[in-house]
Structure 1
Amino acid sequence: MDVQRISDELEINALLNTYARAVDTKDWALYRSVFTDDAHIDYSSAGAMAGSRDEVAELLSRSFAAIPMTMHYITNIECEIDGDHAHVRAMFYNPMHLPGMSELSYCGGYYHHDLLRTPHGWRSRNLREENVWFINSPKAKASEGKTAP
């Protein structure tokens, strides 16, 4: 492994850490800085939104205002780097306290980032979340309270 590859992987790891900190601290300017101006972000596998960086950041800022706590852990980062482009697959684990829930909820899965090296460092041009599992989902709790007709 050469020095450039090591440097790229360290920078990409730092970018994913910044992403997690931005979401968990609800710092939407920092969140935007992780992405290119024309980025597309897709959280639809979790039943959430997909759209441009600014559309998603605005929706997150409104919806996360009601969420008291999230804590993203991003691990097992795999990078396929080709010059100034990279594809990254990373696992996530996210405990969170959702509104109206007495206990913590948890979800996990994969982040798939297409990255571009910019004059400001690596930035995500496309993020697709692949939500694999969810424990203590508000949707599951809501359906528990319903009775059959």
Structure 2
Amino acid sequence: MTPQHISDRLEIQDVLVRYCHAVDRKQWDILQTLFTDDATVDYSAFGGPKGPAGELPGYFIDVLANVRSTQHTISTSLIDLTEDHAVVRSAAQVMMISDAPNDTDHVLFVGLWYRDSLVKVADGWKLRERVQEYSWVHNVQSAHNG
């Protein structure tokens, strides 16, 4: 591995982690900087948008309206890298807490895979395409019934 290859891999991992923090902190302006202007997403596996990445802030604002807290994690990223393009598959888990009856917390968990395509542009690596793949959910049904 060359020093440039190592640097690129670290920068790509940083984009993936910044995405998680931007969503959890509801920093929609930062979220947008992680995508190219023509980026697309496919979040249909969980009922989300399929189209321009610019739709994500509105989608998250709606989905998180009744959620007190979220924590996104990403791990086991498999990065296939060329000079200016990368294909990445990463495991992700999302924990969400909302209010439940009787002043209790409702905690639900979602497991998914991200399939990403990133490109190297003048100011670093950016997501050009992000697809969510369904893996598992836990405690989601009671969230809708509670």
TM-score (norm 1): 0.87
CA drift at 1:99: 5.6
Tell me, yes or no, if structure 1 residue 72 matches structure 2 residue 60.
no
- Runs (5+) with no aligned partner, structure 2: none
**Alignment map for 1:1-149 (pairs within 5 Å):** 1-98=1-98, 100=100, 102-137=105-140, 140-141=141-142
CA drift at 1:117: 0.3
Q: Considering only aligned residues, what root-mean-square deviation do their CA atoms show, in Å?
A: 1.9
Counterpart-to-counterpart distance in 2, 1:91 and 1:124: 16
Identity %: 33
Counterpart-to-counterpart distance in 1, 2:14 and 2:143: 38
Residue identity in the other structure for 1:57: P
How many correspondences in the alignment? 143
Distance 1:78 1:100, change over 3 A: same
Distance 1:103 1:144, change over 3 A: closer
Cα distance per residue 1:38-81 (max 9 Å; x no partner): 11111111122222121222222333233211101110011111
Task: Say if 1:35 and 1:124, in contact at 8 Å, map to a contact too.
Answer: yes
Residue identity in the other structure for 1:23: V
TM-score (norm 2): 0.89
- Structure with a larger share of its residues in strand: 2
Distance 1:49 1:99, change over 3 A: farther
